[in-house]
Amino acid sequence: MKDLINLMPPAAKQRRVRYLYIKRAKALYTTLLLVLIIIGAGYGVVCGVFWQASRDASAQLSLDSSKTSNATQQTEQINTLLKEAKERLYDQRPWLPDVAAALKLVPAEVTITAVEIAPVEIAVEDKVIAISGQSNSRSATLQFQKNLEGLPWVKTVEAPLQNFASGPDVSFRFTLTRKP
């Protein structure tokens, strides 16, 4: 039986093999072409969906232009406010080391409640820092005043008489004048 199958002449065998290879190549080519068409169609659908979504979003944005202009105005107002705050902070920057030095001298019995810094427009020799707070004792208030008077940049320390009242929880306020 094996001999019966191979009784074909060699030229016919080669044609048959070529025919089978061509048939398989065509099937592979057709499958590949079909896959590429499906991928292309899917890509087209996705692009169409994104294009439609972008058109809808741009239409929505054009309808909300009045809200956008209002948001722009609010953004400008916030930017102006931030600019003013930055300028004020920058203008007060030379005082920061001095205030830090004064606050390091606070005794344990003293609680600082406020620190006020004179505006920048005031002349340097008239610039003051006001420190307010509460103290457990009169001696702690006196000690804090002496500590402040010992700072190299302090010209005078003004202390109202009520700073030295006796009793618990004494309120005080010191006004420090800066040396020129």
Per-residue model confidence as pLDDT tens for the chain (180 residues)? 455 566 778 888 888 889 999 999 999 999 999 999 999 888 888 888 888 888 877 777 666 665 666 777 877 887 787 777 766 665 555 666 777 777 888 888 888 888 887 665 555 556 778 888 888 888 888 888 899 889 888 888 888 777 666 767 788 888 888 777
The answer to whether residues 173 and 131 touch, using CB atoms and an 8 Å cutoff, is yes
**DSSP bridge pairs for 177:** 128, 156
Q: Is residue 80 one of the residues assigned to a domain?
A: no
The domain of 169 spans: 93-178
Alpha helices in 6-120 (DSSP H): 10-63, 65-92, 96-104
155 inside domain: yes
Q: How many domains does the chain have?
A: 1
Q: What is the pTM of this model?
A: 0.46
Tell me which DSSP letter residue 146 carries: H
Whole-Å CA distances, 163 to 98, 157, 158: 22, 12, 10
| CATH at residue 130 | 3.30.1360.100
Residue at 37 is within a domain:
no
Strand partners, 173: 132
